[in-house]
Amino acid sequence: MPANLTPEFLAARERFNQAKTDEERLEALQEMLATIPKHKGTEKMQADIKRRIAKLREKMEQRRRSGRGGGPTYHVEREGAAQVVLVGPPNSGKSSLLSALTNASPDVAPYPMSTFRPCPGMMEYEDIQIQLVDLPPITQEYTEGWVYGLVRLADAVLLCLDLSDERCFERAEEVIELLSERHILLVDGPSRQVDWRRVEKRTLAVGVKSDLAPGRAAELPSWAEGRFPQVAVSTSTGEGLEALRRAIFQAAGVVRVYTKRPGHPPDMDQPYTLREGATVLDVVEHIHREFVDRLRYVRLWGSGRFEGQHAPLDHVVQDGDIVEIHLS
C-alpha cells in the first residue's frame, strides 16, 4: 500500500534531516508522527518514528541527569490514571493545595519561591488515583526550562490563584501569557498537540483561600467564563475540596471501564483507565494486545442503546461502561 505522505510530513522530515540539536530533532519527529497518514501502509514508518522519539528522549534524559544539559533539571515518573500539574505565580497556594489533596508533604511557607523542584503526590478519587505535581512558580523574572517541559507532558493543568491577593487575576494572566510564549495554550477542551510546536492543555482554574476573600471568590466564575472551568476552595476549612476532586478527574480526560466475565457479575474494584475518545477496540487492546486477533464480539453495559448489546468496535466508551469480551 503506498504511503501517500503529506507535504507537512515531508517538510517535517526535511527539518529533521537539517536539525543540529536533539531538541530540534525531537520537535521534528513529533511533527512527523502527528502528520503522517495513519493507515496500514505507514505502520512500519510510524513504529520507526516512535522508536526514534523514545530513543532520543532517553538520550536527552541521560544527558540532563549527567549534568551536561546546563543547570538542574527534573523528571517526574508518571503514576496513576493521569498526571496533572499545578502552576501559578509565586505564593499562589499550590503547595498547600497539594498537601490537602494528596499524601505529599511539600514545603508550605508564607513567602514566595518556596517550591524550587517538582513535588508529586497521589490524589484518590473514588476507585482510581491521579498524580498531582506541584511545580515552581512561573514568573517574568526566571523560570527554568524543565518546568515548561513538565507542563507540556502533563495531561492537564491546575491554574492556581491566591484569592487573598488583590492582584490575583492580573498575576494569573501573566502566567497564561508566559505559557503562551512557550507555545503552551491553556484551554477548556481536550489536551492535544496542535502542531509540531504548540500544545493545548485542558485547564482548571482553582481559586485558593476562598475563606479569606469571599468577594474575589464570587468574581472567579466571571473571570474564567468562556476559557476554562473553575472551583474556589479553602484548604483551611476544607470548603470546595470534594468538588475540586471531581473537577480534577473531569479535567484529567480519562474514562474508567470495568470488565465482566460471561455469566459473572462485573468487577467494579479495578477499572481500566483510558483517554477520552477511546473506542471499544482500544479497550480490548489495552486489556491484552493478543485479544484483538482472537476477538469475536464485545457486549456493553452503560453507554450503549440497550444493556448488554453487541457493541461496534468503533463505539466510543464512556466513564463507567462495562465490557464483556468474547474470544474465539
User: Quick one: pLDDT at residue 209?
Assistant: 96
Q: Which fold has domain 255-327?
A: Ubiquitin-like (UB roll) (3.10.20)
Calpha distance 49→7 (Å, rounded): 17
Burial of 264 (0-12, 13-18, 19+ CB in 10 A): exposed
User: Quick one: pLDDT at residue 138?
Assistant: 93
CB contact burial 38-59 (16+ within 10 A = b; e otherwise): eeeebeebeeebeebbeebeee
User: Quick one: pLDDT at residue 3?
Assistant: 64
Burial of 278 (0-12, 13-18, 19+ CB in 10 A): buried
Query: Could you tell me the pLDDT band of residue 114, with boundaries at 50, 70 and 90?
Result: very low
Q: What is the mean pLDDT of residues 4-14?
A: 87
User: Quick one: pLDDT at residue 276?
Assistant: 94
Calpha distance 154→146 (Å, rounded): 12
User: Quick one: pLDDT at residue 32?
Assistant: 87
Q: What is the mean pLDDT of residues 168-180?
A: 96
Q: What is the mean pLDDT of residues 65-81?
A: 72
Is the per-residue pLDDT at 67 higher than 60? no
Q: What is the mean pLDDT of residues 155-177?
A: 97
Q: What is the mean pLDDT of residues 39-49?
A: 85
Is the separation of the CB atoms in 179 and 138 below 8 Å? yes
The interaxial angle of helices 22-35 and 43-65, nearest 10 deg, is 150
**What is the rounded average pLDDT for all residues in the chain?**
89
pLDDT digit string (tens) for 184-226?
999 999 999 998 889 999 999 999 999 999 999 999 999 999 9
Type and span of the H or E element at 207: strand 199-208
Q: Which three cell numbers, joined as nine digits, stand for 270?
A: 479495578
Please provide residue 88's backbone torsions phi and psi, each rounded to the nearest 5 degrees.
165, 175
- Residue ranges of alpha helices (H) inside 107-183 are 145-153, 168-181
What's the CATH code, domain 83-252? 3.40.50.300
Calpha distance 318→256 (Å, rounded): 8
Is the per-residue pLDDT at 180 higher than 70? yes
Is the per-residue pLDDT at 324 higher than 50? yes
User: Quick one: pLDDT at residue 322?
Assistant: 97
pLDDT digit string (tens) for 99-113?
999 987 765 544 344
Domain with CATH 3.40.50.300 in the chain: 83-252
Q: Which amino acid is at 191?
A: S
pLDDT digit string (tens) for 238-286?
999 999 999 999 999 999 999 999 999 999 988 999 999 999 999 999 9
Rounded (10°) CA dihedral 156, 35, 281, 304:
70
Q: Which three cell numbers, joined as nine digits, stand for 42?
A: 505507514
Cα–Cα distance list, 286 to 72, 199, 274 (Å): 36, 25, 8
Domain with CATH 3.10.20.30 in the chain: 255-327
Q: Give the lowest-confidence range in 20-34, 232-246, 289-303.
A: 20-34
Calpha distance 63→57 (Å, rounded): 10
Q: Give the lowest-confidence range in 118-122, 137-141, 243-247.
A: 137-141
Q: Which amino acid is at 231?
A: V
